[in-house]
Chain A
Amino acid sequence: MAAPSDLNIDRIAELSRLALTAEEKVRFSAQLGSVLGHIEQLSKVDVTGIEPTAHAFPLHNIWAADIARPGLAVADALRNAPAQRENMIVVPKVME
């Protein structure tokens, strides 16, 4: 399936922090196109009068009491960090 004309693959790549090659752009545009096509089909269903729901089950108010319990040891918390310093995770310099 061809990509819809309003699909901006460059913008999506930027939001996803992905550097795509020209070939990948074509390939992923087509793949995303078929996903969007599927959603398009869903959009055609008449939902007039049906209340929007946030969840498939009619469950509400699932919670726990505010009782703190111990968490991870620092060494465990940092185990997956590619780099660490002063018990913190090192990331490239970023500015928000």
Chain B
Amino acid sequence: MNYEAVIGLEVHVQIKTHSKVFTRVGAGYGHEPNTLTDPVVLALPGTLPVMNKAALDAIIKAGLLLGCEIAPVCKWDRKQYFYPDSPKNYQISQYDQPICIGGSVEIELPGAARNIMGEHKKIPLARIHLEEDVGKLNHHAADSLVDYNRAGTPLMEIVSDPAMHTAEEAYAYLTSIRHTMIYGGISDCDMEKGQLRCDANISIRPVGETKLGTKVELKNLNSISFVRDGIAHEIKRQLAVVAAGGKLIQETRDYDGQTGTSQSLRSKEMAHDYRYFPDPDLMPVQVDAAWKEKLRAECPELPFDKQRRFLRDYQVPYTITSVLIPERGLSDFFEASAQLAGPGRAQAVGNWIANDFLRELSAAKLPLGASKITPASLAELVGLVEAGTLLNTAAKEVFVAMFATGEAPAAVVARLGLAAVPSDAGELETWCRDSIAANPKALAEFKAGKDGAINAFKGPVMKAGKGKANPKLVDETLRRLLAGA
């Protein structure tokens, strides 16, 4: 019998705010333990939560970017459970009235080759709701240590329908959410910092069956590649259990990316019973059209839409767009530079960014924002090369200097004497004449119709020009002289 896997993902995204979601103490990563707490975070008696407006704006924006319906009214509920990561013994979350309903995530599957765009499809969403993150437990041999810095950080939970079937789809889904949230300025989505986390619900069923099989929840998928590897591993494990005549049980499994294995977690309760009820300390939120439209106006173009536009309007190759698009700043840099460079030069601009610029940034360990190269200076450099004033090899040198000093390309060219020579056509013509005269054998071959013989004349010319002669001009001059010879 043939089986198919069914995968649903629960993705948690931390919202980038200055303060926590229900109190105003600072939120952030990498601070000394328990330095981001206040009486609300610690659930001291008599404290009351107060909603963070910026967190609401961010989640509504996320919903608009993913095509969700924004609920006209939503509320917050208490999810009760006992665990030291939550000092209140409940987590404030949204149960039956989430703020965002439906929507979808566009994904791209791997293409046939790296330079070919893969198939696109839309993965439907069930909902997105806003809740508070919990504290972090550091497990030791004999006890656990609790740090409440993370507790109360605004957290979105994006819940997909069980609509994915392969580990590749899940990987593409998470990548797309990540890019979209970064574009929207909603989260930095750094998985190493726990800003993006993912749990997967995985089951298998015979192909053609519409009912879902027994579901296994896979936890600790804490890097994007672990998501792919962990899900692939779990699908294989389930198929093996069934092939061996076994029966799958509903359980939670912990994936260890280092060893590529998973193990069942002891379940503390037979089934969770969270006893949700509306939090009486928080008022419901009403979202009207004016608020929604204000946020819609702040929404950026989606990454895939931008990629389609780059392919269409700038005629840049797919491989270049797939380097530019994931980083919003880089794609904006490209567009600004391509517009300044003018028609027909966008591909050159894209090549410079995807190759030289990224290489220099990474070698210097600099973020894009700290770069001394500007869209205008790159456009100018491309212009010099296109005009034949600067040869490609020299241009590379100019680029490195521009990167280091922030000088305009023309200034670097002048300082380093890198302009293509001779600017005086007479000198070039002399070198060409000399070269032709010195090689009667190649001249005879060329006259006999062997076009490739022209290359034999080029070496001496380039040598005479100390490598700075413009090959295009050399070729043109040689052809002109040979036609008259």
Verify that A and B bind, or say they do not. Answer: yes
Q: Is the CB of B269 within 8 A of A94?
A: no
Contacts of B73 in A (CB 8 A): 60
Please, how many angstroms separate the alpha-carbon atoms of A61 and B146 in the complex? Answer: 33
| Cβ-based interface call for B18 (8 A) | yes
List residues 38-71 of chain A with CB under 8 A from any CB of chain B.
Answer: 54-55, 57, 59-71
Q: Is the CB of B273 within 8 A of A91?
A: no
Q: Is the CB of A60 within 8 A of B144?
A: no
List residues 414-448 of chain B with CB under 8 A from any CB of chain A.
Answer: none
Contacts of A87 in B (CB 8 A): 32-34
| Cβ-based interface call for B41 (8 A) | yes
What's the A-B contact tally at a CB cutoff of 8 Å?
134
Q: Is the CB of A64 within 8 A of B51?
A: yes
Closest B residue to A76 using CB positions: B37
Q: Is the CB of B284 within 8 A of A55?
A: yes
- Within the complex, the shortest CB–CB distance from B249 to chain A, in Å, comes to 18
Q: Is the CB of B41 within 8 A of A71?
A: yes
| Cβ-based interface call for A86 (8 A) | yes
How many B residues touch the partner, as a band?
Answer: 35 or more
User: Per-residue CB proximity of B275-311 to A under 8 Å, as 1/0?
Assistant: 0001010111110000000000000000000000000
Q: Is the CB of B268 within 8 A of A96?
A: yes
Q: Is the CB of B53 within 8 A of A65?
A: yes
Q: Is the CB of A77 within 8 A of B269?
A: no
Contacts of A78 in B (CB 8 A): 34
Q: Is the CB of B148 within 8 A of A77?
A: yes
Q: By DSSP majority rule, is chain B's interface helix, strand, loop, or mixed?
A: loop
Contacts of A88 in B (CB 8 A): 33-34, 138, 145-147
Please, how many angstroms separate the alpha-carbon atoms of A94 and B39 in the complex? Answer: 24
Known interface pairs A63-B56, A66-B52, A71-B38. Does A91 touch B24 (Cβ–Cβ under 8 Å)?
Answer: no
Q: Is the CB of B285 within 8 A of A61?
A: yes
Please, how many angstroms separate the alpha-carbon atoms of A74 and B41 in the complex? Answer: 13
Please, how many angstroms separate the alpha-carbon atoms of A34 and B440 in the complex? Answer: 115
Please, how many angstroms separate the alpha-carbon atoms of A44 and B67 in the complex? Answer: 41
Contacts of B83 in A (CB 8 A): 94, 96
Q: Is the CB of A62 within 8 A of B283?
A: yes
Please, how many angstroms separate the alpha-carbon atoms of A16 and B89 in the complex? Answer: 10
| Cβ-based interface call for B116 (8 A) | no
Contacts of A95 in B (CB 8 A): 139, 265-266, 268
Please, how many angstroms separate the alpha-carbon atoms of A62 and B51 in the complex? Answer: 7
* A-B CB contact pairs (8 Å), 23 listed: A54-B76, A54-B283, A55-B75, A57-B283, A60-B285, A62-B50, A62-B282, A63-B52, A64-B53, A66-B55, A67-B18, A69-B19, A71-B37, A74-B33, A78-B34, A88-B146, A88-B147, A91-B137, A91-B146, A92-B144, A93-B143, A95-B266, A96-B265
Contacts A63-B53, A96-B268 known; list 9 others, CB within 8 Å.
A15-B269, A66-B53, A71-B37, A72-B39, A85-B145, A86-B33, A88-B146, A93-B143, A94-B83
Binding site for B on A (CB under 8 A): 14-17, 54-55, 57, 59-72, 74, 77-78, 85-96
